[in-house]
Amino acid sequence: MAEFHYAVDADGVASITWDVAGRSMNVLSLEGLKELDAHVDAALADEAVRGVVITSGKKDFAGGMDLNVIARMRDEAGDDPARGLFEGVMAMHGVLRKIERAGMDDRNKGGKPIAAALPGTALGIGLELPLACHRIFAADNPKAKIGLPEIMVGIFPGAGGTTRLVRKLGAMAAAPFLLEGKLSDPRKAKSAGLIDEVVDDPVAAARAWVLSGPSIVKPWDEKGYRMPGGAPYSPSGFMTFVGASAMVNGKTKGVYPAAKALLSAVYEGALVPFDTALRIEARWFTHVLMHPSSGAMIRSLFINKEALEKGAVRPAGVPDQSVRKLGVIGAGMMGAGIALVAAQAGIEVVLVDQSQEAADKGRAYTEAHMDKGIARGKASPEKKAEILGRITATTDYSILSGADLVIEAVFEDPAIKAEVTKRVQAAVGEACIIATNTSTLPISDLARAADRPGDFIGIHFFSPVDKMMLVEIIKGRETGDRAVARALDFVRQIRKTPIVVNDARFFYANRCIIPYINEGIRMVGEGVAPALVENAAKLVGMPLGPLQLVDETSIELGVKIARATKAAMGAAYPDEAVDAVLFWLADQGRLGRKAGAGFYAYDEAGKRTGLWVGLGHYTPAAQQPELSEVQHRLLFAQVLEAVRALEQGILTDIREGDVGAILGWGFAPWSGGPFSWLDMIGAGRAVEICADLAARHGPRFAPPALLREMAERDETFYGRFDPAAQAA
């Protein structure tokens, strides 16, 4: 047996120690569950055993269920997958319920105490298992994270965690842990009631407790149990459930099946006895696992995201390219952010700008960030001094000497960028890679200023740098493997998620997001009610409507990009109708949120107060389109660009296309990304919708050849292009 180890000591305490061979973190597999079950049986059957301690042989308790297993469960559940899944989930409940009942009879007599001893982090099933035990002891380890993060990847705690936590804390108090996946350190987990004790030595404390002859009956197994905060049909319960439904629907707009199912499991479960509630939880959990969204979210947000972070697309055979010294040229909004995240990762940073004042201002961004952290109790003055100490603000390029990587983030002007590249080259050695953070200029063109274009690359950050987790790495025509590997190793150091794409106008993310914004603006010009445009976007899971998004990124920038694109494309430029609205707004001085005026109106504190009434200039048409029509236009504007990027070889890996879309611009996360979404609706249906949209709205919706071919052959993107499946 390889995942749980069993031993009984001289005092009659059985220990079941979770220690999965060959992994640094325990995760539960189906085999592991069987082992756990067998050990529990052995302990309950052995008369010499007086109590049981379940702990871990590693520094943490467990990271959760093996999500690869969950992703496969539906496919491996046989001809009747819903039934197969339900039975599998019920079997898991059986093991945990056995632990909870621990051999008691139906009058709650007999049984053996079982305690959980958590040395560190306990997530997902790593907390659901302890919740089934009779008492939870955790080490006083401030780095440990305790919680149920399942909702973040499109599922919910389905091993009894939902039912137990609600009965333990009440629906209201359990809500942030279940609905938001809130994680706590052990002390906070104790004060919230998630766990019972925080101690120096959890195993010793758990041993002593099981030997002390404690009462082990769970409140919900006692006669007359009442749910804390009240069951649904009580005045306070009523308030909680009405409020929670409104909150969940407000936040998720109804597009995340897991949030709805979780709420249903909690509500319906609260009306019935505990064992029936577990069955209800299992049914809703099965429902979520059967929904394509859960598989797609797990695949993109967990499995593939992690694969990309671990170097799935890193050129083979290039030795470690970690960065010790980084140069950043341009200490503006982006440069200051890059300096901060690099210094936080322990990298020495030289931050260069035209004047000492501008460079200092960039460094002050890190100072302000750390001060905020200190005020929130998340950083210390020592940490601040350490991180700030790594950043040298200067106008002197010679200090860049010895840098492994220099990232340029100066004004978006090819002439200035070329001059900066030359100055950097004169200061650094041959080993240094030079990168640009440009968002619109072709990398291959900028590389002309470099003596060694093979060592020149695009590293495109998103704003704000410290919050946005995606980094888009762009290869110019001549960029070599060493530059790609250095960029990837740097992104790993700063703990962000990379995608690597080829060079083309707007690369990948902006290429897809600009048509989304444009489609929204175009509709306003056509007389579609602006509120319909915005709400349609949110109701399909986009975090921001296109009009809000352009306000946030700035209408002024939109105008600049439109002018530059038109100049580059000449007569082929397709977006005159968009520009008519955009330029009109700019002429009114409505330049976006920063200017306090855009598609939206803002109050003096900069808060949005609603869509600007002046948009009535574009009299809404008497006949408004169907919601689904607006949603299709907004989604296909993005998705077809993603398909074209793949078709043209800009994207070379659909995993990057999906992960990049969700992390880069918030593409409807419930869908798993544009390619996952197309697989859900099917290429055939997608071609049908696009052909119809193209007939009525223009050739930008014409289905690309690749999509038509896939429709004819009845193929899916993950069936045809998934590198992970091909490697397997």
Cα–Cα distance measured from residue 474 to residue 157, given in angstroms and rounded to the nearest whole number: 39
Q: Least distance in Å: CB of 498 to ligand NAD?
A: 15
CA nearest 29: which of 60, 61, 73?
73
Give catalytic status of residue 68 as yes or no.
Answer: no
- From the CB of residue 320, how many other CB atoms can be counted at a distance below 10 Å? 7
How far is 437 from 451, CA to CA, in rounded Å? 19
Instruction: Please give the DSSP secondary-structure letter assigned to residue 501.
Output: E
The half-sphere exposure of 282 on its side-chain side, counting CA atoms within 13 A, is: 19
Asked about 437 being catalytic, the answer comes back as: no
Q: Residue 660 and residue 491: Cα distance in Å, rounded?
A: 14
Comparing CB distances to ligand NAD, the nearer of 353 and 653 is 353
Which residue number, 37 or 353, has a Cβ lying nearer to ligand NAD?
A: 353
Task: Name the burial class of residue 355, with classes exposed (0-12), middle (13-18) and buried (19+) by CB atoms within 10 angstroms of its CB.
Answer: exposed
Using CA of residue 598, residue 602, residue 608, residue 614, what is the dihedral sign?
A: negative
Cis peptide before 130 (omega within 30 of 0): no
Q: Which residues bind ligand NAD (CB under 6 A)?
A: 329-335, 352-354, 358, 409-412, 416, 420, 437-439, 460-461, 463
Q: Tell me the closest approach of the beta carbon of residue 439 to ligand NAD, in angstroms.
A: 4
Query: Which CB sits closer to ligand NAD, 28 or 550?
Result: 550
What is the 8-class DSSP label of residue 110?
A: B
Is 460 a residue of the active site? yes
Angle at the Cα of 413 from the Cα atoms of 407 and 419, rounded to 5 degrees: 65
Q: Which is nearer to ligand NAD, 260 or 593 (CB)?
A: 593
Q: What sign does the dihedral 73-75-81-84 (CA atoms) show?
A: negative
* Least distance in angstroms from the C-beta of 487 to ligand NAD: 15
Dihedrals φ, ψ of 284, to 5°?
A: -70, -35
Single out the catalytic residue among 3, 35, 472, 519.
Answer: 472
In the bound complex, what is the minimum distance in angstroms from residue 474's beta carbon to ligand NAD?
11
Residues 64/123, Cβ–Cβ less than 8 Å: yes
Q: Measured from the CB atom, is 152 or 441 closer to ligand NAD?
A: 441
Least CB distance from residue 122 to ligand NAD, whole Å?
38
Tell how strand 13-18 and strand 183-184 pair up: unpaired
What backbone phi and psi angles, to 5 degrees, belong to 662? Answer: -70, -45
Closest to ligand NAD by CB, 335 vs 545, is 335
- The 8-class DSSP code of residue 704 comes to P
Q: Work out the widest C-alpha separation in the chain, in whole angstroms.
A: 87
Query: Which residue, 292 or 335, is less far from ligand NAD as judged by CB?
Result: 335
Going 164 to 169 to 170 to 173, the CA torsion angle's sign is negative
Q: Least distance to ligand NAD from the beta carbon of 387, Å?
A: 20
Place of tokens 């603006």: 521
Closest approach, Cβ 28 to ligand NAD, in A, equals 40
Q: Cβ of residue 464: shortest distance to ligand NAD, in angstroms?
A: 8
Q: Give kind and range of the element (H or E) at residue 137.
A: strand 135-139
Cα separation, 307 vs 299, whole angstroms: 10
CB of 342 to ligand NAD, least distance (A): 15
Nearest-CB residue to ligand NAD? 332
57 CB burial (10 A radius; 0-12, 13-18, 19+): middle
* Residue 300 or 439 having the CB closest to ligand NAD: 439
Question: Do residues 391 and 349 lie in contact, with contact meaning Cβ atoms separated by under 8 Å?
Answer: yes
Q: Which of 184, 300, 304, 439 does the annotation list as catalytic?
A: 439
* Minimum CB distance to ligand NAD, residue 263 (Å): 37
Between CA 445 and CA 621 the distance in angstroms is 45
Please identify, using beta-carbon distances, which residue of 506 and 677 lies nearer to ligand NAD.
506
Angle among Cα 29, 216, 58 to the nearest 5 degrees reads: 35
Give me the catalytic one of 134, 287, 369, 460.
Answer: 460
Helix (H) or strand (E) holding 526: helix 509-526
Cβ contact 635:642 at 8 Å: no
Least distance (Å) from ligand NAD to the CB of residue 98? 54
Q: Which entry of 56, 294, 300, 510 is annotated as an active-site residue?
A: 510
In angstroms, the CA 417 to CA 476 distance is: 15
Separation of alpha carbons 634 and 628, rounded Å: 10
Q: Which is nearer to ligand NAD, 238 or 411 (CB)?
A: 411
For ligand NAD, give the closer residue by CB, 65 or 329.
Answer: 329
For residue 339 the two structure tokens come to 């300096």
- The residues carrying an active-site annotation are 439, 460, 472, 510
